[in-house]
């Protein structure tokens, strides 16, 4: 095994960034071999989500060196897969996080050093603009420097394939191998993006931004008439880049006078000073927005996360603020798409998608109404690619969603897009209001038709991936064979294990969805009309639990979901035994 001394020497040899060299040198001078092991022993893993990690020195962290190495590997992989890579080029964008500009410039330098053209988005952009630009410019790939809604010290490297969707296997493994083969930095030149040679660097923001706005407004109006009624709403970009990208479609829809911006969160700030976590789903994240809404006598809040690819909605109902869950908003969008679908089109060719951790309600709606529903694995890499596959097969795959407040309107991008979703929501709101409905009352109308669905979602913080793997191994062993048969007396009616590759509902017991032995995911249905999925997070040290009950009332559905959550914690996950911490 390579000694820690040799790893330190290798880092100091390769790294030309003064601050990160100093970090490693100081740890060595202090004799802190434990921390050096954490930083240097394992290389940051490249997966279908690209890279995401804290910004520190070390091969296992995100920093200038690992960004260069990743970019060189990606370039090599692309060159080996398509003869037009050099001329089609790679789109590069970045958000307002610490070091995003530097990382984007270093990525550009790496691609140019490999002879690959760079399409440079020269200002702060939101994440969906990168896949939009990939399709608009017919680029070979796209890179977005962002960590979405992660804490301030994190950053990430998100990769899009030539189809404008996030990469899926086997590309992730191929890129990872190529990174390992291209570790010697070829360039640290931050100035290359200022090249006057359009064959190597072309500024493209103006080419794609207006086209993006056109696409957003078009999808909003394709499902509804232009807004007629003034409805004030509060908008917060959560210290991110969303405001200019939100403002233009709102203006084109004639609603610019209705938008009230949370001023303390309006401008990009990589420290996210007013929120503990810059995620609209987190408790307290919308406090300033609620304060602003109350001061301006409006009952509606729209929020995007820092890179504006996720959307949150909160509404005041009977004097109490209610934030719609990702599932609730997804169902509202789906109903809006269905109700505005052209009467002269074959409803059987309409397709909508959701991931396996999202509500069953969309599948039940599809079965009742006659459109196509497709389930995918977790993540928009799967949703986007599956939607494109359905499109090739003649379906009109217009909408997909995931419970983590992500919504995709495929005529804009095959990825989640908080701005496009907000524009569609604002036009849907007008249509609901014309029928005397609010989002909340429209949702109750849908529950009355399809059944009430309530969730009990949460997560457990895990000390390490090894602990997570041990927890899931012990769960499987509870049944004495392939899986447990009961959960606190409730019979398990269906068991699907996408880690081990088992599905009790298929004729051959093989899952339809892809199996991945490197990640933990189990889905079940138990007596009492409750389904749940438990999985290890691919980007965070978490075990996530998604539990949904269905019943004839909201109270009964919620009681069923909460009861199953309680049993899972007591019988399967036992936090005190494994050192897990409940959120």
> What's the length of the chain?
583
**The pairing of beta strand 201-203 with beta strand 118-120:** parallel
Most distant pair of Cα atoms in the chain: their distance: 73
Strands 530-536 and 521-526, by their bridges, are antiparallel
To the query of whether residue 359 is one of the catalytic residues in this protein, the response is no
38 is written with which tokens?
A: 């954490």
Residue 375 DSSP label: E
Q: In what order do the strands lie in the sheet with 141-145?
A: 51-54, 154-160, 141-145, 90-94, 118-120, 201-203
Q: Is 344 exposed, middle or buried (0-12, 13-18, 19+ CB in 10 A)?
A: exposed
Strands (E), 122-168: 141-145, 154-160
Check 60, 64, 100, 148 and give the catalytic one. Answer: 148
Strands (E), 204-307: 233-236, 259-261, 300-304
Q: Could you tell me if 307 and 130 are in contact, meaning their C-beta atoms sit under 8 angstroms apart?
A: no
Answer for the pair 46, 33: CB distance below 8 angstroms, yes or no.
Answer: no
Residue 295 is encoded by which pair of tokens? 């001061």
* CA-wise closest residue to 231 among 448, 428, 43: 428
Nearest to 216 by CA among 439, 410, 429, 432: 410
Residue 118 near residue 137, CB atoms below 8 Å: no
Residue identified by tokens 């909201």 is: 554
Map 499-561 to HEC letters: CCCEECCCCCCCCCCCCCCCCCEEEEEECCCEEEEEEECCCCCEEEEEEEEEECCHHHHHHHH
Q: How far apart (Å, rounded) are the C-alpha atoms in residues 424 and 235? A: 15
| Strand ranges inside 396-520, DSSP E | 396-402, 406-409, 452-455, 458-461, 486-487, 490-497, 502-503
Token pair 């996030």: residue? 166
Closest alpha carbon to 488 in 535, 452, 537, 524: 524
Residues 6+ apart with CB under 8 A from 10: none
Q: 340: which strand partners?
A: none
Nearest CA to 119 out of 96, 88, 145 is that of: 88
Contact 449, 369 (CB under 8 A): no
* Bridge pairing between strands 458-461 and 406-409: unpaired
Closest CA to 266 of 306, 239, 248, 302: 239
Active-site residue list: 148
């Amino acid at each position: 095994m390579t000694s820690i001394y040799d790893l330190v020497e290798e880092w100091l040899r390769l790294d030309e960034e003064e601050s990160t060299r100093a970090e490693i040198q100081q740890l060595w001078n202090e004799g802190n071999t434990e921390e050096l092991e954490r930083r240097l022993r394992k290389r940051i893993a490249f997966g279908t989500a690209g890279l995401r990690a804290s910004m520190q020195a070390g091969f296992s962290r995100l920093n200038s060196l690992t960004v260069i190495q990743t970019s060189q590997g990606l370039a090599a992989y692309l060159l080996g897969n398509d003869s037009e890579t050099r001329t089609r080029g790679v789109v590069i964008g970045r958000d307002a996080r610490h070091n995003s500009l530097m990382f984007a410039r270093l990525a550009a330098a790496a691609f140019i050093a490999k002879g690959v053209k760079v399409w440079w988005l020269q200002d702060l952009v939101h994440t969906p603009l990168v896949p939009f630009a990939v399709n608009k410019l017919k680029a070979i790939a796209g890179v977005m420097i962002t960590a979405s809604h992660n804490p301030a010290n994190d950053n990430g490297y998100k990769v899009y394939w030539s189809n404008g969707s996030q990469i899926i296997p086997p590309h992730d493994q191929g890129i990872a191998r190529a990174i390992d083969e291209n570790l010697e930095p070829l360039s640290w030149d931050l100035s290359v993006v200022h090249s006057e040679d359009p064959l190597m660097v072309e500024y493209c923001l103006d080419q794609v931004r207006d086209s993006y706005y056109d696409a957003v407004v078009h999808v909003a109006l394709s499902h509804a008439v232009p807004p007629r009624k003034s409805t004030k709403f509060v908008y917060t970009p959560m210290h991110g880049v969303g405001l200019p990208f939100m403002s233009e479609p709102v203006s084109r829809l004639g609603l610019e006078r209705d938008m009230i911006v949370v001023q303390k969160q309006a401008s990009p700030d990589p420290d996210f000073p007013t929120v503990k976590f810059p995620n609209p789903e987190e408790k307290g994240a919308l406090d300033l927005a609620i304060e602003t809404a109350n001061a301006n006598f409006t009952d509606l809040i729209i929020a995007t996360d820092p890179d504006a690819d996720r959307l949150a909605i909160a509404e005041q109902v009977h004097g109490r603020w209610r934030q719609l869950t990702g599932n609730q908003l997804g169902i509202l969008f789906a109903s809006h798409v269905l109700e505005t679908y052209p009467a002269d089109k074959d409803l059987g060719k309409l397709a909508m998608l959701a991931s396996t951790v999202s509500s069953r309600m969309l599948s039940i709606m599809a079965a009742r109404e006659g459109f196509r529903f497709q389930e995918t694995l977790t993540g928009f890499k799967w949703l986007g690619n599956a939607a494109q596959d359905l499109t090739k097969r003649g379906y009109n795959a217009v909408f997909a969603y995931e419970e983590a407040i992500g919504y995709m309107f495929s005529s804009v991008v095959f990825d989640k897009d908080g701005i496009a979703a907000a524009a569609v929501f604002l036009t849907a709101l007008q249509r609901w209001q014309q029928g005397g409905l609010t989002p909340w009352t429209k949702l109750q109308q849908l529950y009355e038709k399809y059944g009430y669905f309530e969730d009990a979602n949460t997560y457990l913080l895990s000390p390490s991936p090894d602990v997570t793997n041990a927890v899931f191994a012990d769960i499987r062993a509870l049944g004495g064979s392939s899986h447990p048969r009961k959960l606190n007396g409730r019979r398990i009616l269906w068991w699907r294990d996408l880690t081990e590759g088992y599905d009790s509902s298929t004729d051959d017991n093989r899952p339809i969805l892809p199996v991945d032995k490197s990640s933990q995911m189990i889905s079940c249905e138990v007596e009492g009309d409750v389904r749940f999925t438990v999985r290890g997070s691919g980007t965070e040290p978490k075990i996530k639990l998604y539990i949904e009950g269905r019943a004839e009332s909201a109270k009964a559905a919620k009681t069923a979901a909460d009861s199953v959550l309680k049993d899972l914690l007591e019988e399967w996950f036992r936090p005190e035994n494994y050192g897990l911490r409940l959120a």
